[in-house]
């Protein structure tokens, strides 16, 4: 699965560096935010701020880099929903 990342600023109040994640049909599937280096919990990591469709839910994982985030997103989008 090919994902497209588009840089954007996110008005979270603290960490503004973000990425919109678009699927192969150019639909918005997720918003990732890079936590600031001063963040006490996970400095410099990427956080799933919002997920849509199959990514919607209670899970908001952290990723050490964008490649890991894309892999996680691709796996979830490829998983077929139960009938």
18 pLDDT more than 90: yes
The per-residue pLDDT for range 23-74, each reduced to its tens digit, is: 999 999 999 999 988 888 899 999 999 999 989 988 899 999 999 999 999 9
Q: Is the model more confident about 21 or about 59?
A: 21
Four-point Cα dihedral 12, 17, 18, 19, nearest 10: 170
Please answer whether residues 19 and 73 qualify as being in contact, where contact means their C-beta atoms are separated by less than 8 angstroms.
Answer: no
Q: What is the pTM for the complete model shown?
A: 0.88
82 pLDDT more than 60: no
**pLDDT at residue 83, as a whole number:** 42
Q: Is the model more confident about 9 or about 57?
A: 9
Q: Rounded to an integer, what distance in angstroms lies between the CA atom of residue 82 and that of residue 80?
A: 6
Q: Rounded to an integer, what distance in angstroms lies between the CA atom of residue 35 and that of residue 45?
A: 5
């Amino acid at each position: 699965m090919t994902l497209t990342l588009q840089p954007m600023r996110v008005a979270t109040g603290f960490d503004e560096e973000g990425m919109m994640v678009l699927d192969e049909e150019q639909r918005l599937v997720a918003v990732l935010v890079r936590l600031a280096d001063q963040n006490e919990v996970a400095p410099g990591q990427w956080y799933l701020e919002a997920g849509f469709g199959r990514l919607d839910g209670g899970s908001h994982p952290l990723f050490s880099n964008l490649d890991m985030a894309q892999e996680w997103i691709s796996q979830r989008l490829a998983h077929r929903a139960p009938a």
